[in-house]
Amino acid sequence: MSTGYAIDLHTHSQRSDGALTPTELVKRAAARGVTIQALSDHDTLSGVAEAVAEGDRQGVRIIPATELNTESEWGHVHVLAYFINPNDAAFEVRMKWLRENRGRRIGLMVENLNRLGYPVSLARVQEIAQGGSLGRPHLAQALFEAGHVPTYDAAFDTLISDGRPMFDGVTTVFGVSSLTIFGLVGSVSSTINGTA
């Protein structure tokens, strides 16, 4: 009973801006007939071990991956890197820097929201993220829960997307730099269009 593709190379867990734990994500993929899945959380490989363990139980091969937000002459570009060693300490140092800057960005957005009459707690945003890399989806959920927007999507539409009042540019690396970083760890990279 397959309801999708056998390969999914772009998935996110709660370790970044997904809704499911790595275990739940792999179980759902297996139920849909996926046999190869890349866990490509933003700026982290912290869910890979859990996903691999569940993948072994479910018969799903897990590809360790991550997604970086980059800037290029064309605007925002997301770069996916596959087959990264989750135990590479030097790579983790780079990812930690990106996660910390992502957290600072969300903190600034929360300050701006509070200052302009949309009170939301950074602690609640962090709670929604469940220890994962902070992102705008977590902030959107907090805004929705606080009653500042009628839907989760409305938070993006009215407040926190590019060009909206509360948007604060993401700390990124330049596209060429991301490819250099990924090349140093022996990964295979791919680009996708996006607006992190």
CA dihedral 172, 16, 3, 28 (to 10 degrees): 160
- pLDDT for res 187: 54
The runs of H, that is alpha helices, within the chain are 22-31, 48-58, 89-115, 122-129, 136-145, 152-155, 175-184
Taking only the tens place, the pLDDT of each residue in 114-138 is 998 999 999 999 999 888 888 888 9
| Report for 84-93, 97-106, 144-153, 169-178: range of highest mean pLDDT | 144-153
Residue 88 pLDDT class (50, 70, 90 cuts): confident
Q: pTM of the full predicted structure?
A: 0.75
Question: Is a pLDDT exceeding 50 seen at residue 196?
Answer: no
Which residue has better confidence, 95 or 53? 53
Q: What is the pLDDT of residues 132-188, one digit of tens each?
A: 888 888 999 999 999 999 999 999 888 887 777 676 655 444 444 444 445 544 555
In the predicted model, is pLDDT for residue 70 greater than 50? yes
Between 54 and 4, name the one with better pLDDT: 54
What is the per-residue pLDDT for 152? 92
CA–CA distance, 86 with 70 (Å, rounded to integer): 21
Q: What is the pLDDT of residue 110?
A: 94
Tens digit of each residue's pLDDT (9 = 90 or more) over 25-66: 999 999 999 999 999 998 889 999 999 999 999 999 999 999
Instruction: List CB contacts of 158: < 8 A, sequence separation 6 or more.
Output: 149, 164
Q: What pLDDT does 101 receive?
A: 82
Query: What is the SS3 assignment for 145?
Result: helix
Domains of the chain: 7-193 (1.10.150.650)
- Once rounded to an integer, what is the mean pLDDT over residues 7-35? 93
